Amino acid sequence: MSNEPVDLRGVLKTFDDLWNPRIAARINDYDVRLTKVAGSYIWHVHETTDEFFLVLDGELSIAVRDPDERVVSLAPGQVFVVPRGVYHRPFSDGGASIVVIEPAGIPTTGDRHDPIPDHIKTHTGLELASEPDPTG
């Protein structure tokens, strides 16, 4: 991890893939993950940790079962925390850029989840790509 400022808008310009977070920073044992989303993710649950969502642009909705199913809608600048043990399914009809904060090493698809479609990959966040060396 760098000890220099990270330009979130700049990072967002480096990738187009969806539901595939980049680790923008680390706070103690927590990852600050930056991702683009569109369409629907899968129902999943994190048994041991809460999950923090911050919308940078676009709109994000999160269906939660706590215990009844409901939908939380987030606009830019809004945050929502899904408590540990709560099944949830993020989705975005028009697309969004978001920040997710959770402990390092936590799989993106949680501890239990619905079947995973091809467009979703399970991992723990991708390191930021290094800037190309301008001297070659």
pLDDT at position 21 over 80: yes
**pLDDT (tens digit, 9 = 90+) per residue, 55-66?**
999 999 999 999
Q: What percent of the chain has pLDDT over 90?
A: 76
Split at pLDDT 50, 70, 90, the class of 43 is: very high
pLDDT of residue 132: 39
Q: Are strands 87-103 and 60-65 parallel, antiparallel or unpaired?
A: antiparallel
What average pLDDT does the chain have? 91
Query: Which domains does the chain show, CATH number per domain?
Result: 8-112 (2.60.120.10)
> What's the pTM value of the predicted model, to 2 decimals?
0.90
Tokens of 40: 């629907």
pLDDT at position 23 over 70: yes
pLDDT of residue 1: 66
